[in-house]
Amino acid sequence: MDSRQVIGIVLTAGIFGIFFLWLRFQRKQEKAEMNSGVQEITILVKGAYDPNIITVKAGIPVRLHFNRQEHADCSRYVTFEGMKIRKDLKAFGMTDVEFTPTETGEIPFTCDMGMYQGKIVVE
Ligand SMILES: [Cu+2]
């Protein structure tokens, strides 16, 4: 292999690396779906919350289905700021979190260490 080939391989690997990092940290915004009077959405918990920005309407009950597909300690608990909600998410299973947002604004939620971050946008 000459040095040109090495540079080519390093550049290609670098571009792929940046692309995967971008995929990992990009913001994924979704609207909760209305099902018989409840706003519902499933959030995949695997390396991050996906989606991590969820839009809901004020005054209507919200049910979040956390689908935790990993057993990393980091994502075990999810805490909702200012709401006294802290849930133990079971590994490789679903855990529901329910509440009714009363006013518009943003409700951040994170894992215990703040590595995984998301927010509910109440409109
Ligand atoms: Cu964590």
Distance of CA 65 to CAs 5, 21, 42, 90, 101, Å? Answer: 48, 26, 5, 12, 16
Length of the chain: 123
Query: Residue 120 C-alpha to ligand 1 middle, in angstroms?
Result: 18
pLDDT at 122: 97
Query: Residue 40 C-alpha to ligand 1 middle, in angstroms?
Result: 24
Fold held by 28-122: Immunoglobulin-like (2.60.40)
Average pLDDT over residues 82-107: 96
**Residue 116 pLDDT > 90:** yes
Residue-wise pLDDT for 22-81, tens only, equals 656 667 889 999 999 999 999 999 999 999 999 999 999 999 999 999 999 999 999 998
**Residue 18 pLDDT > 80:** no
Query: How far apart are the C-alpha atoms of 60 and 99, rounded to whole Å?
Result: 9
Domain ranges within the chain, ordered by starting residue:
28-122
Average pLDDT over residues 94-117: 96
Query: Residue 122 C-alpha to ligand 1 middle, in angstroms?
Result: 24
pLDDT at 8: 78
User: pLDDT-derived band of residue 1, with 50, 70 and 90 as boundaries?
Assistant: confident
- This prediction has a pTM of 0.79
**Residue 108 pLDDT > 90:** yes
Query: Residue 37 C-alpha to ligand 1 middle, in angstroms?
Result: 32
